[in-house]
Structures are given as C-alpha cells and as structure tokens.
C-alpha cells in the first residue's frame, strides 16, 4: 500500500490555555483533493497553519511525505515545505511587483540568486493557469479571479507535490469561482498534485473534493470523514447535515 502523503497524528492545537482542536488524527492520500470543512471558529485555518509548520502544536505531530514537520529544525522545516505550495486567502500578491515577478519570487528566495530558465518557468506557470499574457501586469490591474490564479501559479512555481489552498474561492463571483474549481481539478488530474483546501464554499467543496473532514467547534475535533456527497446522504449528525445543506433541511 502507498504511504499517505500527509499524516496528522494525535494533534492538539490551541492558543495559550484555549484548546481549538484536541487529539485529531487523519491521513491525506497521495493525489487526493482533500477538504477541511466546518463552521467559522472550528479551527480550519489553525489546522492548516500547523500543517504548514507556522504554529507549533500543544502535542502530536504532522508528517509530510514521511518527514516529521513538527520536530524538524528550522532548516529542515524549510526543506520539507519546499515540496508544498501555498495559495493564501486573498492571494497575498506583492503589489509593487509584476505578475511575473510575483511568480518568480519563490524561486529567487530559494536559490539565493539567479535561476537558470526562470522566464520559461514563469511563462509555463502562467500558461497553466490560463494567463499567458498577464506577466507584465501589476496586481492592481487584475480582477479577483485573476489574482487567485496568479497566486496559484506562484504556489506551483517550484513544482510541489502538495498544494495548500486557504479559502481559494473566497470573495469570487460564482463564474470566477467555477473557473478556479476547474483549474484546481485540472492541476490535480494532470500533475497528480495532492491538494488540501480549507473552505466553507459548498459549491466548491462538492465540485472538487474527493475526501474531507468536518471539524466541530463543540467537540474540538473531527466528527465526520468521507466524500462530501456521501456525507450529505449519510450525515452522522444534525450539525454536519445543517452545514452541508446551509440549514435548509
């Protein structure tokens, strides 16, 4: 059997004396589109930060591609995260840089100098996200959907095996969100990239995710796991059903 691409083991997270998530465990299979879902305040973003090595857990560990991120030194943590691309909420583009310069930034940071073929790499990523002619534009000249696609191109700059997406469709109109969903699926299917997304957008969750966990703020943990459509048909409790139906049932 293939080892999981990501393994979260007995993880407890919080801030000071406040526990957000307690003793949660789950695996993310290689090639999955895995969604972390749940109502506001359930710990979705906190969990993604811990999976990125940005915050330390109270206990437990995060293992990425067989390497323990939690106990790694700063240098080792950076090495592990080189295989992970991140699309931040709002895209987080540098407003003073062009689109091409934004996409090139991760490559420049990690090389410490010139990168052979960097223009070709940037052009390839722009073509992949459907923006081949946008390289000379600045973020202020882009629509919300275009900014998300540029952020996705930057996350893919180093050809990571894993992508973390933090609320990828937040703030987008339905048409732009649908295009982004299609792009995420295309990246997963053509590149085999393992994708972990935090989202409360049900249309996006049902469109792209083939596995998910539901985080309960009351239980401080996972109360449902499976394909979103399966959870909709066989919700384990009223809270999960209420979330997946927007309270219409």
Is-contact 80 67, C-beta < 8 A? yes
pLDDT of res. 194: 97
pLDDT reading at 216 higher than 80: yes
Q: How confident is the model at residue 248 (pLDDT cuts 50, 70, 90)?
A: low
Listed residue (38, 25, 27) closest to 205, CA to CA = 38
Query: DSSP class of residue 5?
Result: S
Domains of the chain: 30-42+81-244 (3.40.50.300)
String of b and e for 46-74 (b: at least 16 CB within 10 Å)?
A: bbbbbbbbeeebeebbbbbbeeebbebee
Mean pLDDT across the stretch 180-205?
A: 94
pLDDT value, residue 107: 86
In angstroms, the CA 154 to CA 107 distance is 9
Supply the pLDDT for residue 1.
55
Q: What is the pLDDT of residues 112-171, one digit of tens each?
A: 666 778 999 999 999 999 999 999 999 999 999 899 999 999 999 999 999 999 999 888
Give the pLDDT of residue 26. Answer: 97
What is the DSSP track for 47-95?
HHHHHTTSS--SEEEEEETTEESTT--HHHHHHHHTTEEEE-TT----T
Q: Is-above-0.75 flag for pTM?
A: yes
Tell me the pLDDT tens digit for each residue of 17-72: 899 999 999 999 999 999 999 998 899 999 999 999 999 999 999 999 999 999 99
- What pLDDT, in 10s, does the model give residues 64-116? 999 999 999 988 998 899 899 999 887 789 999 999 999 998 888 766 666 77
- Over range 227-233, report the average pLDDT: 95
Residue 42 CA: distances (Å) to CA of 11, 14, 39, 131: 15, 11, 6, 35
């Amino acid at each position: 059997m293939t080892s999981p691409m990501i393994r979260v083991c007995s993880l407890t997270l919080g801030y000071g004396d406040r526990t957000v998530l307690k003793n949660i465990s789950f695996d993310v299979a290689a090639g999955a589109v895995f969604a972390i879902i749940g109502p506001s305040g359930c710990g979705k973003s906190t969990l993604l930060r811990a999976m990125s090595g940005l915050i330390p857990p109270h206990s437990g560990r995060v293992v990425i591609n067989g390497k323990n991120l939690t106990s790694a030194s700063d240098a080792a943590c950076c090495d592990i995260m080189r295989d992970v691309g991140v699309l931040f909420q709002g895209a987080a583009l540098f407003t003073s840089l062009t689109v091409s310069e934004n996409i090139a930034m991760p490559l420049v940071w990690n090389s410490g100098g010139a990168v052979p073929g960097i223009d070709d790499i940037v052009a390839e990523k722009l073509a992949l996200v459907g923006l081949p002619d946008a390289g000379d534009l600045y973020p202020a000249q882009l629509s919300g959907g275009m900014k998300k696609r540029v952020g996705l191109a930057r996350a893919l700059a180093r050809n990571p095996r894993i992508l973390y997406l933090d609320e990828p469709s937040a703030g987008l109109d339905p048409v732009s969100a649908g295009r982004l969903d299609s792009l995420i699926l295309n990246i997963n299917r053509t590149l085999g990239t393992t994708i972990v997304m935090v989202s409360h957008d049900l249309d996006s969750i049902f469109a792209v995710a083939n596995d998910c966990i539901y985080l309960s703020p009351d239980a401080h943990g996972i109360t449902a796991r499976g394909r979103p459509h399966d959870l909709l048909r066989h919700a384990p409790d009223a809270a999960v059903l209420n979330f997946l139906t927007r309270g219409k049932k």
